[in-house]
Amino acid sequence: MLMDLGAFSTIAQHRPANLSIVILDNEQYAETGMQQTATGFGTDLAEVARACGLKDAVTVISDDALPSLRSKLTARAGTVVVVLKILPGDQPRTVPERDGAVIAERFIQALQRA
């Protein structure tokens, strides 16, 4: 969400009646080496969502809130935003393949399996 905060405004403008957005926030950019994100420095995505017009937005920081989360996501009409804080972790890094021939061969194999 940090890479496209404008999405909140677009969603609020259209007000879909059946959209639940769950953001798993570990406060890190894993793709680029686990740098801390703006949420790690205080940006509150639920507050941003509310400021954009998505009034039903909450941040969940405790496991105790998880049982009620399911009903919040399924029992309500309208758009719901849940920012679920999760522990940061140092996952094994993988670099996406950049060799065009390898990418093409992998694509062909996937098509043949389909």
Is a pLDDT exceeding 90 seen at residue 43? yes
Q: Looking at per-residue confidence, does 71 or 41 come out higher?
A: 41
Q: What's the pLDDT band for 93 if we cut at 50, 70, 90?
A: low
pLDDT score, position 70: 79
Q: What backbone phi and psi angles, to 5 degrees, belong to 92?
A: -60, 135
Asked if residue 42 has pLDDT above 90, the reply is yes
Using pLDDT thresholds of 50, 70 and 90, give the confidence band for residue 80.
Answer: very high
Q: Which CATH number goes with the domain that contains 7?
A: 3.40.50.970
Q: How many domains does the chain have?
A: 1
DSSP secondary structure, 59-85, as one string: EE--GGGHHHHHHHHHS--EEEEEEEE
Q: What is the pTM of this model?
A: 0.73
Q: What confidence score (pLDDT) does residue 97 get?
A: 79
Q: What letters, b where the CB count within 10 A reaches 16 and e where it falls short, cover 41-63? A: eeeebbebbbebebeebbbbeee
Quote the domain boundaries for residue 6.
2-113
Q: Residue 75 is which amino acid? A: A
- Please, what's the largest Cα pairwise distance for the chain? 49
DSSP-derived secondary structure for 14-61: H--TEEEEEEEE-SEEGGGT-EE-GGGGT--HHHHHHHTT--SEEEE-
